[in-house]
Amino acid sequence: MSAIESVLVENRVFPPQEAAVKAARISGMAAYEALCRQAEQDFQGFWAQQARDNVVWTRPFSRTLDESNAPFYKWFDDGELNASANCLDKHVGTPVENETAIVFEADDGTVTRVTYKELLARVGQFANALKAQGIRKGDRVIIYMPMTVEGVVAMQACARIGATHSVVFGGFSAKALNERIIDAGAVAVITANFQMRGGKELPLKAIVDDAIAMGGCTTLRTVLVYMRTPTACNMAAGRDKTFDEVLKGQSAECTPVSVGAEHPLFILYTSGSTGKPKGVQHSTGGYLLWAKLTMDWTFDIQPKDVFWCTADIGWITGHTYVAYGPLAAGATQVIFEGIPTWPDAGRFWQMIQKHKVTVFYTAPTAIRSLIKAAETDAKVHPRNWDLSSLRILGSVGEPINPEAWMWYHKNVGGERCPIVDTFWQTETGGHVITPLPGATPTVPGSCTLPLPGIMAAIVDETGKDLPNGAGGMLVIKRPWPSMIRTIWGDPERFKKSYFPEEMGGRTYLAGDGAVRSSDRGYFRITGRIDDVLNVSGHRLGTMEIESALVSKTDLVAEAAVVGRPDDLTGEAVCAFVVLKRPRPVGEEAKKIANELRNWVAKEIGPIAKPKDIRFGDNLPKTRSGKIMRRLLRSIAKGEAITQDTSTLENPAILEQLAEKN
């Protein structure tokens, strides 16, 4: 049964428990519907009110939404604020200031607590250190850091002085880092000597050195290095400085710089359908509003909560729901340095018990791998730990299959916790379609309904609305405060990628397929409709991987990359490769396949390594020379080819590619 068919027959419904409904901010469906109506009847008035209630402005805004240069929408644009002040200074003089902001658990289990007051002082001191390095408002700073308190401090410190950060996930390669430094025109890189993951010390600074050595980083002046471990690393005189050196003598007080609401808070690179990653640019005002508001709406965060989002700060989830949202909401959050499977696959459950986590937010790929581990080793099954502190569970990053949803509900949530399956993207800044824990009855595998003010719909290629039950493209018809503002340095690509002319140029095209259920109108995401793969919740462009493969010019003549479903990682990368030498078989094929995997890891990062590599004398092409990817997708899945192959130049190639090596 396909995913689309199963949503139509999925009839398990889990209404939130009565006590949860009573206690929640948005209490019951009628309250949710009332907010939706308000937003529809007075769109600008609704958002203006939210922005006044949830954001501290140093200068109030008078204009809510400026659509005059659509799709380059502006929100609250004559208002001024500082994002870091909205996360830290705001709590000074309130009971929150002495509460724990961050419970940090290191890879080896060591726990450190940081109060809001202490965090403010650390951010202030680091912000002063950045200023002393000559970093100013509007400068771009790359952050290539492990999951640490220091990573969050670095982001907040940039925000405090109005510098635009661009965090690069610690698993990306030197080449990927080099491209991002150049594209962003970064003046500084903030990094660590090493990162600790699963008991291993992995280099970060050495990768920064390699990235800079590749050349072209003409704007870069400074590299700041956090010594995570005592192991020394190379330090280039004049360019590289340790945190200790630059922090010495700096005051903990740093006045936050007021910036316009549209000032770019950060750029975050993500994969698109061409080879070049897109620098998604976010605003300060609208983004911050969303981070705060969705903490309240989706997680219904309360003073006694202990929030834990397991995402790395290198991804958008780690921006909105680690570095900004929980702090803006004044919550206590857990930050974890390590990996879910070390020292064993009970780590998450043990940590939930130890820190009495109440709201837990993770990805389906983690859930699936922990299910598998619990099935093979009863000792790591969640039933071995006391998870009774939990009250809300969240899921993000990819569609969650109903079996994994049910397991999460039963074994982690004790059949009592609502699961918020939050659909969103790097580009949306925060949740856009999600259940509300005290209102929405949940259905396994469905992200249910849009947040108030999010005008989501499912349309055909021309932008025409489709009825419930019909699969189509997911769009958002009106702008929202935390939406992507542009692609850094490439406004044309921004327009072309997200606001297609055929739909009128103002409708946001998400790039996902979706279908609404016939009974409730609930959304279910069926996966990307462009050339983007989702492997373990990580976005990868097929073109990016193809470019990486063909850049191995001594070996590869041509390559095509497609995805296929995978039980554990959601999707897996399959590459079809034509070599510049005769098609290899047996041991030689294995050897070359491994060489190519390592090459891709070096070019992009280990997450992009193709799981399957198949060699052919050629690729299936039409007579006009187009690679027929839909045939490759069938082959990758192991399906028999039933599609029309009459336009194919070389039909015999299909049989050869179907052979596994």
| Residue numbers at the binding site for ligand 6R9 (CB under 6 A) | 270, 315-317, 395-399, 421-426, 447, 510-512, 525, 528, 534, 539
Closest to 404 in 3D by CA, of 533, 521, 569: 569
First to last CA, the chain: 29
Among residues 129 and 447, whose Cβ is nearest to ligand 6R9? Answer: 447
Query: Residues near 254 by Cβ (< 8 Å), separated by ≥ 6?
Result: 123, 124, 125, 127, 128, 131, 160, 161
Query: Taking the complex as a whole, how short is the minimal distance between the CB of residue 419 and ligand 6R9, in angstroms?
Result: 10
User: Can you say which residues are annotated as belonging to the binding site for CoA?
Assistant: 197-200, 317, 536
Q: Which residues are annotated as a binding site for Mg(2+)?
A: 550, 556
What is the nearest approach in angstroms of ligand 6R9 to the Cβ of residue 62? 32
* 8 A C-beta contact, residue 2 and residue 427: no
Tell me the binding residues for ATP: 397-399, 421-426, 512, 528, 539
Single-letter residue type at 513: G
For residue 244, give Cα distances in angstroms to 110, 131, 225, 238.
21, 15, 9, 15
Smallest distance, ligand 6R9 to C-beta of residue 421, A: 5
For ligand 6R9, give the closer residue by CB, 332 or 426.
426
CB of 442 to ligand 6R9, least distance (A): 12
Give the nearer residue to ligand 6R9 in terms of CB position, either 19 or 568.
568
Please tell me the distance from the alpha carbon of residue 52 to that of residue 33, in angstroms, as a whole number: 22
Report d(CA 657, CA 619) in Å as an integer.
Answer: 8
Closer residue to ligand 6R9 in complex, CB, 106/396: 396
- Closer residue to ligand 6R9 in complex, CB, 337/398: 398
Query: If residue 286 lies in a helix (H) or strand (E), which one and from where to where?
Result: helix 285-297
What pairing do the DSSP bridges indicate for beta strands 188-192 and 140-144? parallel
- As a whole number of angstroms, the distance between CA 95 and CA 72 comes to 40
Binding residues: 197-200, 317, 397-399, 421-426, 512, 528, 536, 539, 550, 556
Nearest approach, Cβ of residue 399 and ligand 6R9 (Å): 4
Structure tokens at 400: 């969650």
CA distance 25 to 368: 31
DSSP state of 384: G
Q: Which residues contact 467 (CB under 8 A, 6 or more apart)?
A: none
Q: Would you say 88 or 288 has its CB closer to ligand 6R9?
A: 288
Is the four-CA dihedral 453, 454, 456, 462 of positive or negative sign? Answer: positive
Cβ 369 to ligand 6R9 shortest distance, Å: 17
To the nearest whole angstrom, how small is the minimum distance from the Cβ of residue 397 to ligand 6R9?
4
Please say which residue, 89 or 398, places its beta carbon nearer to ligand 6R9: 398
Instruction: State how beta strands 194-197 and 278-282 pair.
Output: unpaired
Euclidean distance between CA atoms 528 and 530, whole angstroms = 6
